[in-house]
Amino acid sequence: MATEKKEFKTEVQQLLDLVIHSLYSNKDIFLRELISNGSDAIDKLRFNALSDKKLLKDQTDFRIKLFTDNDAKTLIIEDNGIGMTKDELEANIGTIASSGTRRFMEEIKKGNSSDNPELIGQFGVGFYSAFMVADKVTLKTRPAGSDESWTWESSGDGSYEITEGGRDKNGTEITLSLKEDCRDYIVEFRLREIIKKYSDFVEYPILMDITREEPELDEEGKPKEGVEKKVTITEETLNSMKAIWMRPKSEVKKDEYNDFYKHISHDYTDPFKTIHYSAEGTLEFKALLYLPSKTPFDMFQHEGIKHGINLYVKRVFIMDNCEALVPRYLRFVKGVVESNDLPLNVSREILQEDLIIKKIEKNVTSKILTTLKGMMKKSKEDYINFYKEFGKVIKEGIEVDPTNKDKIKDLLLYESSKTKPGEYISLKEYTERMIPDQKNIYFLTGDSRATVDNSPHLEVFKKKDVEVLFMTEPVDEFILPGFGEYSDKSLKSIAQGDIDLGTEEEKKIAEEQKKEVTGKYKNLIKKIEESLKEDVKEVRLSNRLTDSPSCLVTDEGDINPQMERIFAAMNQPVPEVKRILEINPNHPVIEKMNKIFESDKKDSKVSDFSELLHNQALLTEGVAVKDPVRFSKLITDLMIG
Same domain, 276 and 365: yes
pTM: 0.69
Domain assignment present for residue 392? The answer is no
Domain assignment present for residue 599? The answer is yes
Domain assignment present for residue 82? The answer is yes
pLDDT at 115: 41
Same domain, 319 and 355: yes
Same domain, 482 and 509: no
Tens of pLDDT along 485-496? Answer: 999 999 999 988
Same domain, 172 and 250: no
pLDDT at 387: 96
What is the torsion angle, in degrees rounded to the nearest 10, for the CA atoms of residue 583, residue 587, residue 588 and residue 589?
A: -20
Which one of 440, 460, 493 terminates a domain? 493
Domain assignment present for residue 407? The answer is no
DSSP three-state, residue 4: strand
Domain assignment present for residue 622? The answer is yes
Q: Count the domains in the chain.
A: 4
- Enumerate residues 6+ apart whose C-beta is below 8 A from 326: 307, 309, 333, 361, 364, 365, 368
Same domain, 152 and 12: yes
- Enumerate residues 6+ apart whose C-beta is below 8 A from 110: none
Which one of 177, 205, 237 terminates a domain? 237
Q: Output the domain CATH number for residue 440.
A: 3.40.50.11260
Q: Output 91-99 pairs: Cβ under 8 A, ≥24 positions apart.
A: 92/127, 93/127, 93/139, 93/152, 93/160, 94/6, 94/8, 94/9, 94/12, 94/160, 95/9, 95/12, 96/9, 96/11, 96/12, 96/15, 96/124, 96/125, 97/124, 98/11, 99/298, 99/301
Domain assignment present for residue 400? The answer is no
Domain assignment present for residue 398? The answer is no
pLDDT at 504: 65
Same domain, 8 and 116: yes
Alpha helices in 199-280 (DSSP H): 254-265
Same domain, 272 and 371: yes
Same domain, 488 and 628: no
Domain assignment present for residue 395? The answer is no
3-state SS string for 152-216: EEECCCCEEEEEECCCCCCEEEEEEEECHHHHHHHCHHHHHHHHHHHCCCCCCCEEEEEEEEECC
Same domain, 262 and 294: yes
Same domain, 337 and 435: no
Give the Cα separation of 199 and 259 in Å (integer). 8
Cα atoms found within 13 Å of the Cα of residue 341, Cβ hemisphere only: 17
Pairing of strands 273-279, 4-7: unpaired
pLDDT at 557: 75
pLDDT at 340: 82
- Enumerate residues 6+ apart whose C-beta is below 8 A from 319: 47, 310, 311, 348
Q: Output the domain CATH number for residue 616.
A: 1.20.120.790
CB 563 within 8 A of CB 477: yes
Residue 120's domain comprises 4-218+227-237
Q: Alpha carbon 55 to chain centroid distance?
A: 36
Q: Output the domain CATH number for residue 121.
A: 3.30.565.10
Same domain, 252 and 231: no
For residue 108, what are the CA distances in angstroms to 13, 265, 412, 582?
15, 19, 34, 52
Q: Phi first, then psi: give them for residue 78, nearest 5 degrees.
A: -125, 140
Q: Output the domain CATH number for residue 338.
A: 3.30.230.80
pLDDT means per 10 residues, the chain with 641 residues, are 75 68 66 86 88 83 95 96 90 56 55 43 63 93 94 88 93 96 94 85 90 81 78 91 87 90 84 94 91 80 66 76 89 91 70 84 96 94 94 93 95 96 94 90 91 91 94 89 91 87 67 74 92 92 91 83 70 79 92 91 89 91 86 86 65
Same domain, 375 and 274: yes
pLDDT at 56: 86
CA angle, corner 239, sides to 237 and 240, nearest 5? Answer: 105
CA end-to-end distance (rounded Å), the chain: 89
Tens of pLDDT along 408-427? Answer: 999 999 999 999 999 999 99
